[in-house]
Structure 1
Amino acid sequence: MDASTTLSHDERDARAIRRRGWTLALLTIAYFFSFMDRQILAILLEAIKADLQLSDTQLGLLSGLVFALFYATLGLPIARLADRSSRSNIIAISLAFWSAMTALCGLAQNFTHLMFARIGVGIGEAGFGPPSQSIIADLYPPEKRASAMAIYSLGVLLGGGLGIVIGGFVAHSYGWRVAMMVVGLPGIALAVIMKLFVVEPRRGLSDGKAPAAPADAPAMGLWKGIMSLWHNRAAFHLVAAITITSLVGYAVTGWGPSYMQRSLGMSMLDVSKYVALPAAFVAGFSAMLGGWLCDRAARNKGVYAQSYVVVVMKVLAFPFALGFYFLDNLWLAISSYFVASIFAGAYIGPTYAMIQHLAPLRLRATWAALTLLATSLLGLGLGPFVVGQISDALKPTYGDESLRWAMFSVAMLTPWGIFHYWRAGVLMKRQEAAAAA
């Protein structure tokens, strides 16, 4: 028996708070591996296309829908398990599985082989996000949660960028298959470290709640959990906002390297050296800035103000995001992309924090899984796939420039996402005013 099980509630709570920094760091590193394994395909698409003779539609399926279907749908049952049992165990097992499947992608000999390996990556990663967000929400109070989630979201921003850097350099020297194995195999060792050191906090620990019921206590059923989010209109608008924003974002991350190669004349190695690495750190700065501004707004105004901060950041980013597609000069286009990135990455941590703030304690992993279901099926699943289809449809007219117009078409959904963030802020403000009355 683990000695920690003999500790009192107060001793376990103190231990969890004492080690929360390490727990957050390990979850962020695992998220880094998650997104690196997921997004490395972006820099390898052109090499895979040439090797396996694939179409843009097939590449879009591999980048998005094939992965997202399993990642999203399995996230819900795993999240229900996480709301009842050990979240840290689920995270460690999931990490080991998706890492092994990423390495197996390097052995694929055709589209079908690669598709099944990507399905395996999606199955493994389904068990990571919801329990991780639930643990962070229990370790950090509402006024510090946006910053904690912003640190956690660095895994997305740095993982995607550095995955392109590592993948590009390794693929340039040794081929795309070796690149898949190089990013996949280290995650298995990390899974062992996660199992040994990640804290399993009491549910509601940082919300000032009484000790939670035992892990086997009855929890709300899945359907009621879904309806509880649906009836919380502020949460519904937050999920809609992050879904639309993710659709646009996954379209850029999935096809951006190909666009830079086809329309801007860059090589795979140039994208890795001059764009991916600085873009990762710019996006990381954006996430930290967004978390800091949102926590400051929450302390001064209320949690609702975090949504308005995201609105402002997204509005500032939008014209520069469009400039990426309209500026023909290489370095002006890349500069516009970097400026957009300064503001664009600010939404991730605050959005997750607000959803966890609104979620009932025993439904935090479930609400996180519902959010990931929407962002994965509609964002990750449709974003790269729709861009691929539009690009193929426009190719007879625009030739190699078809990808530019396909990506621009999807980017024009951004104002719709901004509206939902604004509406969520309005509704959260009303809820907070009613609770204070």
Structure 2
Amino acid sequence: MSGNSKRADGPVPAPRQFGAWYPWYAVIVLTLAATISAIDRQVLALMIGPVKRDLQISDTQMGLLLGAAFATLHTLASFPMARLADRYSRKWIIAGGIFCWSLLTAASALAHRYSTLFLARMGVGVSEASLPPAAYSMMSDYFSQKQLPLAVGIFQSATFFGVGFASFVGGPLIQHLEMQPALVVPIVGDMYPWQAAFLVVGLPGVLVAVLAAGLREPARTGRVVEVRQSVPIADIVRFARARWVLLSLHFGGFFLMALQGYSLFAWGAEYFIRAHEMSRAQAGVSFGLVAMIFGILGSFSGGAIATWLMARGYRDGPMRLAALKCVIVTPFAVAFGLMGEAWSAVAAMVPLTFLMALTPGLGAAVMQTIAPNEMRGQMVAVYLTFVNFFALLLAPLIVALLTEFVFRSEGALGYSLSVLAAMAYPTAAVLLWLALKPYRQALEAAAGFGITRRA
């Protein structure tokens, strides 16, 4: 460990703006919003078989529906949403986004063709782009730098809880609906069972939008320009170019981790169905329970461990933890898709899920610690563009292509997941370890940013 990693100086913590508990309440509301977002995304992955059957599409087309349909406009919308979040009320941006993506998820119930469902998922992607930049920016103003990793870890746990809850409830729900007589809805007419599932999971999000609208907006801290002054794109480019080594290594490492993670979210339940002959309900419950319990434990633990490392003087704690995680998780990720029995695959998924969940939120937290306030939302958008967009776009598709054209068997889905993990995690470990030194240098530069001008 380098001696440079044990310096205690850094940006001044955000000043106390609320009571001790209110910021944690805000994190709960933001986490609930992120949970609804994850559920709306994940529900489609539970219906791969029925959707393929009813729309008569292939694994590759399904991979595009799971990835490109959501990711393309989600990414294009991320930067404009972030520009708004860096200038205007973040809670209203979040509330509006929740309202829109909930209605669009419910509207997916009206799709009777592949193209129509594709367009509906694109709309969900645009709306969900409103949440991450605004939420991360708000949390950076609710919490000090040392508290931020834990808050972000809690927020990030929503991904695993949402995926797990959608699987745990959605699998049995879809199997139950499949066994019912044809569904006829007034005005809409005949509905496939999977269309009814979209309706059930979409509408409750409107209530979460109301909670988000009721949050108290925190004053912005750590600004270097006036509150309503928009940062020129040229300044953001200059900021990124000055840190290109860090950003390249950081984005590359977290992209590879996200690539494996999204492949598991997209195809994990289907793997249990195809390779281990589970029913859709059994696969949903098994996948969902592990994702909820150990995903949440991992997310909370990741934030707590990073906070502990920083308290002990390791300012590069979030990046250091991510690099070590990649080394430890590799054997579990590879073994998961190779297990011959259903119980052994579920057992392998327990440590895999816990370790996967340690670090996703830390990638965005790193961006918050090195950027001035008026760039935080936009730098998160840049991060999400390079990391989440390409991971969301490619992960479902790579697994589908490997399964369909390399292994040439739907039953070989597990091999595809294992091959991807064997390539992604070791490479990510190397990139993130190389990023430690430039990250510490970026933290030194961030110590000179201005502090607190109230909006």
TM-score norm. by structure 1 comes to 0.90
Distance 1:435 1:46, change over 3 A: closer
Aligned residues of 1:134 and 1:364 also touching (Cα < 8 A) = yes
Deviation at 1:14, TM superposition (A): 2.8
Give the whole-Å Cα distance in 1 for the aligned partners of 2:445 and 2:78. Answer: 33
CA RMSD of aligned residues (A): 2.1
1:350 aligns with 2:338: no
Is there any run of 5+ residues in structure 1 with no aligned partner, and where? 1-11
Match in the other structure for 2:36: 33
Whole-Å separation in 1 of the counterparts to 2:306 and 2:64: 35
The separation in 2 between residues aligned to 1:236 and 1:117, in whole angstroms, is 33
For the pair 1:187 / 2:198, whether they are aligned, the reply is no
Indicate if the aligned counterparts of 1:251 and 1:383 stay in contact, CA closer than 8 A.
Answer: yes
Q: Which moved more, 1:123-132 or 1:159-168?
A: 159-168
Whole-angstrom CA distance in 1 between matches of 2:424 and 2:376: 28
- Indicate the residue corresponding to 1:249 in structure 2: 261
Asked if 1:200 is matched to 2:209, the reply is: no
Tell me the equivalent position of 1:311.
323
Alignment of 1:417-436 (within 5 A): 417-432=428-443
- SS of 1:263's partner is helix
- Is 1:359 the counterpart of 2:371? The answer is yes
| TM superposition shift of 1:147 | 0.4
2:93 to 90, 94, 97: 90
Q: Which amino acid aligns with 2:49?
A: E
The answer to whether the 8 Å contact 2:258/2:360 transfers is: no
Match of 1:213 in 2: 226
Q: Which runs of 5+ in 2 are unaligned?
A: 1-14, 178-192, 449-455
Bigger Cα displacement from structure 2, 76-85 vs 304-313: 304-313
The change in CA–CA distance for 1:52 and 1:395 in structure 2 (over 3 A counts) is farther
Cα offset, 1:211, TM superposition: 9.9
Match of 2:338 in 1: 326
Amino acid at match of 1:341: T
Matched, 1:165 2:183: no
Given that 1:303 and 1:354 are in contact with CA atoms closer than 8 Å, whether structure 2 keeps it comes out as no
1:340-382 residue CA offsets vs partner (Å, 9 max, x unmatched): 1121210112222111101121100001111111123210111
Describe the shift of the 1:294–1:392 C-alpha distance in structure 2 as closer, same or farther (beyond 3 A).
same
* Counterparts in 2 of 1:305 and 1:21: CA distance versus 1, 3 Å: closer
Change (3 A) 1:177 1:332: same
> So what's the TM-score if we normalise by structure 2?
0.87
Report 1:36-435 matches (<5 A): 36-174=39-177, 175-196=193-214, 198-204=215-221, 209=222, 213-214=226-227, 216=228, 218-232=229-243, 233-396=245-408, 399-411=409-421, 412-432=423-443
Distance 1:212 1:384, change over 3 A: same
- Where 1:14 maps in the other structure, the secondary structure is coil
Task: Work out the CA distance in 2 between the residues paired with 1:136 and 1:211.
Answer: 18
By percentage of residues, which structure has more helix?
1
Question: How many Å apart are 1:150 and its aligned residue?
Answer: 0.2
- Report if aligned partners of 1:96, 1:191 keep a CA contact under 8 Å in 2: yes
Counting matched residue pairs gives 417
Query: Within 2, Cα distance between the matches of 1:419 and 1:292?
Result: 23
CA contact (8 A) 1:75 1:373 kept: yes
Deviation at 1:257, TM superposition (A): 1.1
**Deviation, structure 1 residue 95:** 0.4
Give the counterpart of 1:14 among 9, 12, 17. 17
Does structure 1 conserve the Cα–Cα contact (< 8 Å) formed by 2:70 and 2:125? yes
Cα deviation 1:133-192 (Å, max 9, x = unaligned) = 100011111111110000000111101111112221221122212211111100012112
Cα 1:221/1:322, change in 2 over 3 Å: same
**Matched residues, percent identical?**
27
Q: What is the identity, as a one-letter code, of the residue corresponding to 1:403?
A: L
